[in-house]
C-alpha cells in the first residue's frame, strides 16, 4: 500500500481584536472608505494581534486545535514546519518556539520563508519528508502578524492584511482508499521580487498591487491546471477550492476558471483580510470545522505571494 500524507486534523487561531474598514481608516487617518476597500478587495474587517500575541503564540494555539481535532497528543509530533514572514525572532525558528509551547521534545522543527505561498511550500516539504520516512507525524503551520510590518500611511497596502494562524496535523499512513496529498507544485521567479517585498527584515511591506494582481490571475490559473493534469483529473472532479485569501476578485476568477459554483469555493477574505501564509490553513480549518469539507473530498489549495512564489496542492481529504 502506498505511504500517504493524510490530514488528520485542522485548526485556526484569530486574535480577539477585530478592526473594521471604518475603524482602520479612522485610526490611521487614511484617505479611503469602506466602500472602496469592499469593492476592490472584498474585505470588510480583519483581526489584529494584541500585546503578547505573536506568530509563535497564535501558531501554537492553531496547532493545539488541530491536534485536538485529530485526537493526537503533542508527544506524537516529530516534525514542526512553520511558514511565516513575521517570526518572533531571527532564531530560534518560530517552529522551535511552538515546539516549546506545545511541549514537543523530539523530532525537528524549522521555518519556511515563501511569503503568502509559505503554507503550500511547508506542506510540500512535510509531504516529502513523511513519504520518505523522515517523520511520521508533522505539524504544518502558517502564522503571521503582518500588522507589525505594514506602513500605516500607505492606503494601497495597509487595508489589505490581517493577523492569524492556521495549522494541520499531517500523518504518514499506508492507505488504499486514495486519501492523502496527491501532489504539490511549487514555483518561484525572483525577477518579480520588487513588486511585492518587505524592506529589510522589519518592513514595511511594499506592493505594486495592480501588477501583482495580473501575475496572480495567470500564474494561479496555470498552477491549478498543472496540479489537475499531473493527476489526470478533470476540473469537475474538484469538490473544494481553498484559495489564498488576498482579494475576492482573484478568488472568484479562479472559481470561474475551474467551473466551480461559488458554494464550492471557501472564502474568508471578507472577514480575515489577507493573512499571508495563514490564509489557506485558516480557510481549510473553517470549512472542515463547519462540516463543508468531508473525508474523501478532493480539495485544491493554491497561493501566490512575494518572490514571486506560487504553488498548488491537490489532496483527497
Ligand atoms: N482607498 C482608496 N483609494 C485607493 C486605496 C484605498 N485604500 N488604495 C489605492 N487607492 C487608489 C489608488 O491610489 C489609485 O488611484 P489613482 O487611480 O488616482 O492612482 C486607485 O485607487 C486604483 O488603484 P489600483 O491599485 O489600480 O486599484 P486596484 O483596482 O488594482 O486595486 C488592490 C488595488 C491592491 C486591491 C489590487 O490591485 C489587488 O488586490 N492586487 C493584488 C494584491 C494581492 O493579491 N496581494 C497579495 C498577493 S499575496
Q: What is the SS3 assignment for 216-256?
A: HHHHHHHHHHHHHHHCCCCHHHCCEEEECCCCHHHHHHHHH
Q: What confidence tens digit (pLDDT) does each residue in 241-267 have?
A: 999 999 999 999 999 999 999 999 999
Q: Does pTM surpass 0.95?
A: yes
Contact 227, 300 (CB under 8 A): yes
* The pairing of beta strand 108-112 with beta strand 79-83: parallel
Vertex 171: Cα angle to 170 and 177 (nearest 5) = 105
Q: Kindly state if the Cβ of 275 falls inside 6 Å of ligand 1.
A: no
* Cα 154 to Cα 158: distance, rounded to the nearest angstrom: 6
**At 154, is the pLDDT very low, low, confident or very high (cuts 50, 70, 90)?**
very high
DSSP secondary structure code for residue 160 in this structure:
S
Q: Is the pLDDT of residue 201 over 90?
A: no
Q: What is the pLDDT of residue 248?
A: 98
Distances (CA, A) of 145 to 50, 138, 163, 274: 10, 23, 5, 11
Catalytic residues: 116, 244, 274
Residue spans of the domains in the chain: they are 3-174, 180-316
Domains 3-174 and 180-316 share a fold: yes
**By C-alpha distance, which of 162, 166, 171 is closest to 281?**
166
- Percent pLDDT > 90 in the chain is 99
Compute, in angstroms, the gap from residue 247 CA to the centroid of ligand 1: 11
| CA of residue 211 to ligand 1 center, whole Å | 10
Alpha carbon of 208 to ligand 1 centroid (Å): 8
In this structure, the number of other CB atoms found within 10 A of the CB of residue 141 comes to: 36
Is the CB of residue 136 below 6 angstroms from any atom belonging to ligand 1? Answer: no
Whose cell is 462540516? That residue is 291
CATH fold of the domain at 180-316: Peroxisomal Thiolase; Chain A, domain 1 (3.40.47)
Phi, psi of 145, deg, nearest 5: -125, 70
Q: Which fold has domain 3-174?
A: Peroxisomal Thiolase; Chain A, domain 1 (3.40.47)
For ligand 1, whether the C-beta of 203 sits within 6 Å is no
Q: How many CB atoms lie within 10 A of CB 167?
A: 35
Binding site membership of 150 for ligand 1 (Cβ less than 6 Å): no
Amino acid at each position: 500500500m502506498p505511504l500517504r500524507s493524510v490530514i488528520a486534523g485542522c485548526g485556526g487561531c484569530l486574535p480577539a481584536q477585530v478592526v473594521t474598514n471604518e475603524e482602520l481608516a479612522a485610526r490611521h487617518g487614511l484617505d479611503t472608505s469602506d466602500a472602496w476597500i469592499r469593492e476592490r478587495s472584498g474585505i470588510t474587517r480583519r483581526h489584529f494581534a494584541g500585546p503578547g500575541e505573536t506568530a509563535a503564540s497564535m501558531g501554537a494555539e492553531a496547532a493545539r486545535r488541530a491536534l485536538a481535532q485529530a485526537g493526537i497528543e503533542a508527544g506524537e509530533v516529530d516534525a514542526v514546519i512553520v511558514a511565516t514572514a513575521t517570526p518572533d525572532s531571527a532564531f530560534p525558528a518560530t517552529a522551535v518556539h511552538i515546539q516549546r509551547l506545545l511541549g514537543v521534545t523530539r523530532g525537528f522543527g524549522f521555518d519556511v520563508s515563501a511569503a503568502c505561498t509559505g503554507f503550500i511550500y511547508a506542506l510540500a516539504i512535510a509531504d516529502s519528508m513523511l513519504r520518505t520516512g523522515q517523520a511520521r507525524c508533522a505539524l504544518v503551520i502558517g502564522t503571521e502578524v503582518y500588522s507589525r510590518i505594514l506602513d500605516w500611511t500607505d492606503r494601497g497596502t495597509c487595508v489589505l492584511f490581517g493577523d492569524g494562524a492556521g495549522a494541520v496535523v499531517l500523518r504518514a499512513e499506508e492507505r488504499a482508499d486514495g486519501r492523502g496529498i496527491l501532489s504539490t507544485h511549487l514555483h518561484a521567479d525572483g525577477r518579480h521580487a520588487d513588486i511585492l517585498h518587505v524592506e529589510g527584515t522589519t518592513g514595511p511591506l511594499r506592493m505594486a498591487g495592480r501588477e501583482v494582481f495580473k501575475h496572480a490571475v495567470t500564474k494561479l490559473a496555470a498552477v491549478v491546471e498543472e496540479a489537475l493534469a499531473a493527476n489526470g483529473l478533470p476540473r469537475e472532479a474538484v469538490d473544494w477550492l481553498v484559495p489564498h485569501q488576498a482579494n475576492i476578485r482573484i478568488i472568484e476568477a479562479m472559481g470561474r476558471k475551474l467551473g466551480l459554483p461559488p458554494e464550492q469555493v471557501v472564502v474568508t477574505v471578507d472577514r480575515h483580510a489577507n493573512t499571508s501564509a495563514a490564509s489557506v490553513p485558516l480557510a481549510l480549518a473553517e470549512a472542515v470545522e463547519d462540516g463543508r469539507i468531508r473525508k474523501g473530498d478532493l480539495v485544491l489549495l493554491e497561493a501566490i505571494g512575494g518572490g514571486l512564489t506560487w504553488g498548488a496542492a491537490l489532496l483527497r481529504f
